[in-house]
Amino acid sequence: MGGGIGQWLLYRAGDGSLSLFSLVVPAGSQTPIHDHLAWGLVGLYRGTQDEEIYAEGGGVLELVEHRSLRPGDFYALIPPHDDIHRVRTTSAETSVSLHLLTNDTGCVWRHAYDAESGETRPFRSGYVNVACGEDDPPQHSH
Ligand SMILES: [Fe+2]
- CA dist 89 and 65 (Å) reads 17
Residue 132 CB: number of other CB atoms within 10 A?
Answer: 15
Whole-structure pTM value: 0.90
Quote the ligand 1 centre to 34 CA distance (angstroms).
6
- Is 136 a residue whose pLDDT tops 50? yes
Quote the ligand 1 centre to 21 CA distance (angstroms).
11
Quote the ligand 1 centre to 87 CA distance (angstroms).
7
Sheet of strand 60-69, all strands in order from the earlier edge strand to the far edge: 60-69, 49-57, 84-89, 33-34, 110-113, 120-123
Quote the ligand 1 centre to 101 CA distance (angstroms).
10
- Is 141 a residue whose pLDDT tops 60? no
What is the mean pLDDT of the segment spanning 94-112?
97
Quote the ligand 1 centre to 79 CA distance (angstroms).
12
